[in-house]
Amino acid sequence: MHDRPNEFLVRTAPFADQDKQAVYRAIHTRRDVRDQFLSDPLPDDLVRRLLEAAHAAPSVGFMQPWSFLLIRSARKREAIWQAFLRANEEAEAMFPVEQRDAYRSLKLEGIRKAPLNICVTCDPDRAGPVVLGRTHDPRMDAFSTVCAIQNLWLTARAEGVGLGWVSIFHEAEVKAILGIPERVQIIGYLCLGFVEELYATPELEVKGWRKRLPLDDLIYEESWGQVGEGPITLATAEDLTLPGS
């Protein structure tokens, strides 16, 4: 521990209005991209910026459990795609018959179409066996890694890069393809590439799969299920004056 930690404190203040609006714009217009990727490769300096943003994420106990495995080769991406196809057939069979046509209509082409795939992993041993803040909830390393993915996702949106999160695969199969140690957990398999178009609202909502839940139904006061006297008024994406709008 540093003897004089206060010397590292710096003054802070709210962002300027335009900067705040840019943050909200990234949050409200971020999308899970499945099929709109362009084939153009991502420049190395751009990829580095995205990874630096991910690495700046908060982590419990400052454990920084994440690693980023970059996959560009067509051969590796094809092997991952085949693993996805096998799992996707299993997933389709889990849904009621009346939903299966809708499920099949959701194109998931990012693994082969996006020029860059990133497998984001979590090493539970990186900070040692006892980690500050993880002592009573062993999931905190995985939660921290998800924060890194969110940082990457929002930065990608700001850079004009689409990102899709693939979760339909057997972890052991993907680990074998990528040589990932058994103790290391795969948190997210991401597909990244430039995009010219994004859905105005989430694709699953556009295609009738699910609707966004009303926020007021999800806010309780003081105890579970206890609703406050009145709704909390929050700005929506439509209320914001966004840069360039």
Mean pLDDT of 209-215: 93
pLDDT score recorded for residue 108: 78
Q: What is this structure's pTM?
A: 0.88
- Is the Cβ–Cβ distance between 124 and 183 less than 8 Å? yes
pLDDT score recorded for residue 232: 61
- pLDDT tens by residue, 123-138: 999 999 999 989 999 9
Phi (first) and psi of residue 211, to 5 degrees: -110, 155
- Is the Cβ–Cβ distance between 113 and 188 less than 8 Å? no
Burial (Cβ within 10 Å: 0-12, 13-18, ≥19) of residue 104: exposed
In the CATH scheme, what architecture does the domain 30-209 have? 3-Layer(aba) Sandwich (3.40)
